[in-house]
Amino acid sequence: YSSIYLNGIRFNDAMTGYGPWSLWSGLNDATRNQENTAGLRSSGYGIDGIGGTTNVNARASQMRKGFRASVVNGNSMYRFRAMVSYASGLLDNGWSYAFSFSTRQGGNSYVNGVYYNAFGYFAAVEKQFGQRHRLALTLLGAPTERGAQQAATQEAYDLVGNNYYNPNWGWQDGKKRNARVRNNHEPVVMLNYTFDISDRSKLDLATSLRFGMNGYSALTWQNGPDPRPDYYRYLPSYFALDKNMLGAAWQQVYWQANYQNIRHFDWDKMYQTNYIQNDPVDEAQYGPGRRSNYMVEERHTDQLDWNLVANFSHIFRNNSKIYGGLSLRRNRTEYYSEVKDLLGGDYWADIDKFAERDFGSNAIAYQNNLDYYYRHGHAHAAKVGDKYGYDYYAHVLRTKAWAAYNFNVGGLGVTVGGEVGYASQWREGLWRKGLFPDNSKGDSKKLDYLTYKAKGNFSYRFSAAHTVEANVVYLQDAPEFQASFVSPRTRNTTTPGLSAERVFGVDASYNLRVGDLKARVSGYYTRIYDQSKVISYYDDVAATFTNFAMSGIDKLHFGLEAAVSIPLYRSLALNGAVSWGQYTYDSNPYYLQTQDNSGDIVSDGYVYWKNFHVESTPQLAANVGLSYRSNNNIFLSADFNYYNNMYLSMSPIYRTDAVITTGMTAEDIAHLRRQEKFDSAYTLNASIGKNWYIHRQYTLGFSLEVKNILNNQDIRTGGYEQTRLTKNTETTVTTYQAFDSKYFYMFGTTYYLNLYFRF
């Protein structure tokens, strides 16, 4: 819900709506000039929504003139960062230019197998023609390869002896190899034109193009045992569930001793399995070579995103202002999977392994690319770099027009604005799926939506010390693409009950400022209607891979916030903030669960989520700290942070009638549907910095930040319930028990040391 702009163009991801920060990750110098608005306040770039706005101003003329170099050493995200930047400022001939380059390398002190191999580049040039015209060209990119961490169950963490166990990696040739690697490079090129029509009127035109690749690797296999080290059947609890207590005891010993590297992927074993593959049936069908049973795939979401924006503003004689604009966005994202590493084999047979299991006698049914099968008489023998599994385009078209008017009368300030738009999205299948030959290739039906927003911002200044403000917004927006299709990997079927999402929000604040004393108290209320969500998973009850599509998800958010900054002595200040909220689901959304292999309905009904808490964010948080800045440029701060009322992300299937059997008591049902609340937690952080001015021309400085000084390594920061269930058949009536949840933990003490030099 936060709108992120780059040089006046909204860059939130067209598929998910998420913030696009990774597009310019590591380019801190080039993107440090930012204009921010909070909450429901309006910006000069659009009406926007409920999460505030940020506009990153990365034009060459706006960067601080001079040269800057910095190096960083840390232990939380990466070990080392180096960055160099230069900006010319506005030259006498009207030109200005800037560039920046960076690299981030290494892992961290806590999680094995994670690492950064990242770079960033930025170049901008701008020309001022006379006093009224400016033309700017900007190019940036952040090619990044990053090893990922996976959540694990508390059982696995306890067996290993720490809360940072990462099941994604194993040893290969004496080196750590991670199976889950994010690899992306999505350059952005944009052109901005500004026309100062007069002292009171301005026209801004901008266009941008985002392109490149975004991949996320994963290990996959066709037959044989699951190679994931923390697969539930390899943990002591699985043996205990089967009443094999001796096996459970031995498995615990193996895990604790890491016997034969049981905690990690066995890459050598997978290579050996592939290498000895010699099936005459495969050779007759696919030709000579070894068919891989294990391989590493890379799942791609490669975007081609084009934007065109025109904004206009005019200040009237009474200093009231009107501003507005038009925008057009066209996005085509290709979703496909690619063979990344055959692990010693020669090819991968591109078939649907779940369909082959269910329809083994029907070769057509388990073809991922049916047209290839018809042409060659067998599935594609995919080599490294070949697409396999699925290939489709997600198309999104959005256009909007908006306008706002601001005026002030005495101490009263008012801004009212509105937006109207059109959004269309559709799936274009590039392959014909054997299971859905008539509903997989070609265009789906177009999902068209009218979008609109209405917003009002009101403020009143009683005096220089006292002001109040209130804001209100009502909007309707299109659902995100990934929530709009039941199984876009396989077919064109849309989510049942899909509709536009609506949001109503209101907030009010009181502000006090007396000298250096500042205080603010705010309240807010937000209702969200008609969200949709789709998840895909293996259903143990139905014994098949399924798609679980929900619609009609409503949420209610309300709360209070307060903040204060109190000067104590000279440059020493006491700062504090507290936020209390209640964020809950406000409906029991409808769901339809279908078999992925056939589209047949498994179950439908309602997810009993009403009054459960929205997950993954603290609903009570507080901060108190001291800050100090001396006359000789020493900066000091210390902060104490506390949070509570944070809840685990819920699996919807646990809260449906489909998993309730006649043998379950009311206590069993309540236990299955309960929502886990995390323990409260607190941390202590501190920072120090200083810079030196040398001959009034050079600046040398450093900053050091230390987080979680108390080194608490038991703070849960997130996680999720698994979707799977175990079947209890000890009694005459079957009942179900949820799999253990998976968690992430905050790192212990971390530091970030930055040394910089500029002139």
Q: Note the pLDDT of residue 731.
A: 61
Structure tokens at 34: 């930012």
DSSP state of 649: B
SS3 522: strand
User: What are residue 9's DSSP bridge partners?
Assistant: 6
User: Tokens 């799926």 correspond to what residue?
Assistant: 433
pLDDT in tens, 593-645: 999 988 999 999 999 999 999 998 999 999 999 999 998 899 999 999 999 99
Q: Note the pLDDT of residue 357.
A: 85
DSSP assignment string, 247-304: HHHHHHHHHHHTGGGTTS--HHHHHHHHHT---HHHHHHH-SSPBPSEEEEEEEEEEE
- The answer to whether the beta carbons of residues 494 and 447 sit under 8 Å apart is yes
- The answer to whether the beta carbons of residues 180 and 168 sit under 8 Å apart is yes
Residue at 621: amino acid letter: A
Q: Note the pLDDT of residue 641.
A: 97
The C-alpha angle with vertex 258 and arms to 254 and 262, in degrees rounded to 5, equals: 80
How do beta strands 53-56 and 3-6 pair? parallel
- The answer to whether the beta carbons of residues 348 and 381 sit under 8 Å apart is yes
- The answer to whether the beta carbons of residues 712 and 744 sit under 8 Å apart is no
Structure tokens at 653: 């299937």
Q: Note the pLDDT of residue 228.
A: 95
Residue at 396: amino acid letter: V
- Length of the chain, in residues: 759
Q: Note the pLDDT of residue 736.
A: 80
CA atoms within 13 A on the CB side of 197: 11
Q: How far apart are the first and last CA of the chain?
A: 39
- The answer to whether the beta carbons of residues 265 and 227 sit under 8 Å apart is yes
Enumerate residues 6+ apart whose C-beta is below 8 A from 95.
Answer: 88, 125, 126, 127, 128
Structure tokens at 672: 């299955």
Count CB neighbours of 519 within 10 A. 15
Burial class for 203, CB neighbours closer than 10 Å (0-12, 13-18, 19+): middle
- The answer to whether the beta carbons of residues 640 and 682 sit under 8 Å apart is yes
Which is nearest to 543 in space by CA: 595, 591, 606?
A: 595
Beta strands in 283-436 (DSSP E): 294-315, 321-341, 348-349, 381-382, 387-409, 412-429
Q: Note the pLDDT of residue 695.
A: 87
Helix (H) or strand (E) holding 433: none
Q: Note the pLDDT of residue 354.
A: 86
Q: Note the pLDDT of residue 724.
A: 87
Q: Note the pLDDT of residue 474.
A: 97
pLDDT in tens, 322-331: 999 999 999 9
Q: Note the pLDDT of residue 710.
A: 97
- The answer to whether the beta carbons of residues 493 and 599 sit under 8 Å apart is yes
DSSP state of 168: T
SS3 240: helix
Q: Note the pLDDT of residue 378.
A: 94
Q: Note the pLDDT of residue 241.
A: 85
Q: Note the pLDDT of residue 729.
A: 62
Count CB neighbours of 29 within 10 A. 26
Q: What is the value of pTM for the model shown?
A: 0.94
Residue spans of the chain under pLDDT 50: none
- What is the rounded CA–CA span in Å between residue 313 and residue 321? 7
User: What are residue 414's DSSP bridge partners?
Assistant: 407, 458
Residue at 61: amino acid letter: S
DSSP state of 597: T
- The answer to whether the beta carbons of residues 585 and 553 sit under 8 Å apart is yes
SS3 92: coil
- What is the rounded CA–CA span in Å between residue 531 and residue 450? 16
